Amino acid sequence: MNAFISTNNYVANADNDVDLDNNGFGNPFTDIMSGIVSLSLNGEPLNDGDPDHCLFDYDSGGNNTVDFGFYDPNVHFGLVHHEMIQVHPNPFTDLLNISGNMRLHPIRVVDVYGRVVLSRRPSDATETIDLSALPSGLYFLKLIDSLDKPITVRKIIKH
- Of 136, 77, 142, 137, which Cα lies nearest the Cα of 110? 142
pLDDT for 8 = 63
The C-alpha angle 65, 12, 6, rounded to 5 degrees, equals 75
- φ/ψ of 82, rounded to 5, equals -60, -25
pLDDT for 154 = 86
Q: In terms of pTM, does the model score above 0.75?
A: no
- Of 62, 57, 56, 69, which Cα lies nearest the Cα of 22? 69
The three-class DSSP label of residue 56 is coil
pLDDT for 44 = 67
Per-residue model confidence as pLDDT tens digits over 3-59: 666 666 677 787 777 766 777 776 666 677 777 877 778 776 666 655 555 555 566
The three-class DSSP label of residue 11 is coil
CB proximity list for 81: less than 8 A, separation 6 or greater: 101
Q: Kindly tell me if the per-residue pLDDT of 76 is higher than 50.
A: no
Confidence grade of residue 96 (pLDDT, cut at 50, 70, 90): very high
Between residues 63 and 58, the one the model is more confident about: 63
Confidence grade of residue 124 (pLDDT, cut at 50, 70, 90): confident
Q: Kindly tell me if the per-residue pLDDT of 116 is higher than 70.
A: yes
CB proximity list for 79: less than 8 A, separation 6 or greater: 104, 105, 145, 151
Contact yes or no for 152/85 (Cβ under 8 A): yes
CB proximity list for 89: less than 8 A, separation 6 or greater: 96, 97
Structural domains of the chain in order of their starting residue, each with its CATH number: 1-74 (no CATH), 82-158 (2.60.40.3080)
Q: Kindly tell me if the per-residue pLDDT of 139 is higher than 70.
A: yes
